[in-house]
Amino acid sequence: MLVLVGPEHWDKLYPIANGNNQSPIDIKTSETKHDESLKPVSVSYNPATAKEIVNVGHSFHVNFEDSDNRSVLKGGPLCESYRLRQFHFHWGTTDDYGSEHLVDGAKYSAELHLVHWNSAKYPSFADAASQADGLAIIGVLVKVGQANPNLQKVLDALQAIKTKNKQAPFTNFDPSVLLPSSPE
């Protein structure tokens, strides 16, 4: 029996996952180009918009509620402000491969996704999610290493959601503490 696992096989299981605008990707740094015409990317997160942590079976989501753009991503190639909806992590069964994306073929232990939606153009996250310009996701590649005190509140909250569909309050959290100090 042949079992295909991992993002590199998604297109074999789901043909829609094959195309030019698909994820995951292997970022080849020798082929990247800096666009000096872009404004800097800006994130501004209000800790009061954090609401709950939910076990979704394969991962967990920390959900945010924001009706007035208190937690937003803007700048770079984005024309509008995008509201933060949730963040989640991808990880694997070993420390050497859990990220969806690669850099020059290198795999990472995990990957953080901060998922934002175009609230200027769409009335809801659900409406935005099906549109090409509806979502903007910040991906952060993670290596196992020293303990990160900024992550501890998230790790502690996992105790309350040990089974699928379990949820618990998760408030007063600024996800920008999970971002690297430099975008490089």
The DSSP bridge partners found for residue 118 are: 82
Catalytic: which of 9, 34, 58, 88?
58
Find the DSSP H helices in the chain: 10-13, 125-129, 152-157
Strands annotated E in the chain: 26-27, 39-44, 50-55, 60-64, 72-76, 82-91, 102-103, 110-118, 135-142, 167-169
73's tokens = 């991503």
User: Residue 114 and residue 87: Cα distance in Å, rounded?
Assistant: 4
- For the question of residue 58 being annotated catalytic, the response is yes
As a whole number of angstroms, the distance between CA 64 and CA 48 comes to: 9
Please list the active-site residues.
58
